[in-house]
Amino acid sequence: MTKRSIFWLLLTGLALSPAGCGDTLKAEGRVILEGNPVAGASVMFIPESDKGLPAYGSTDADGHFSLSTNGASGIRPGRYKVTVTKTEQVPGAGDTKGREPRPGKEPVHRFKDKQNTPTRNLLPAVYSSPQTTPLTLDVAAGGAKNLDITLENKDR
């Protein structure tokens, strides 16, 4: 392979790689519901721009999370929709396909875990989807970010 071929190969690789992958900012916060920390929740920051990258985190026992983007610690600057979910397995739920929930019983959501077991979201459903969540956050360029999220029990 000639030096010229190597040059063009490297240049093409740089052009195709996501721009700005190295400019993530340290980002962490807490998830609170009714004054209490939410342990075991999944937090997702979905960019409102087509050029952004999503960031993910999970809460610990104190409701604390740290975000990661593409496996790297942190988040890129931008405006984000924020979703928060916490699921548990529904023991004995079986397949609910084609059946209506029984009166007085909570419907089983179609979430599935790795073992394909039905699960249900333990947090208000409004926060589980980018289309319904009222949570939006702006992450500006700069230092460490404190991204505390306070949830309201809207649908319980």
**Distance in Å from the first CA to the final CA of the chain:** 65
Q: For the chain, how many structural domains are there in total?
A: 1
Looking at the domain assignment, is residue 10 inside a domain?
A: no
Is 116 within a domain? Answer: yes
Contact indicator for 142, 25 with CB cutoff of 8 Å? yes
Within a domain: residue 13?
no
**Is 4 inside a domain boundary?**
no
In a domain, 62, yes or no: yes
15 belongs to a structural domain: no
Q: Are 78 and 50 in contact (CB under 8 A)?
A: no
By the 10 Å C-beta count (0-12 exposed, 13-18 middle, 19+ buried), 62 is classed as exposed
CA 29 from chain center: how many Å? 13
Q: Answer yes or no: is 2 within a domain.
A: no
3 state DSSP class of 78: strand
pTM recorded for the entire structure: 0.70
Q: What domain range includes position 94?
A: 24-98+106-151
User: 135: domain CATH number?
Assistant: 2.60.40.10
Length of the chain: 156
Tens digit of each residue's pLDDT, the chain (156 residues) = 544 444 444 444 444 444 444 588 888 999 999 999 999 999 999 999 888 899 999 999 999 999 999 999 999 999 999 999 999 887 765 555 544 555 554 555 555 555 667 888 999 999 999 999 999 998 888 755 688 999 998 654
**Is 16 part of a structural domain of the chain?**
no
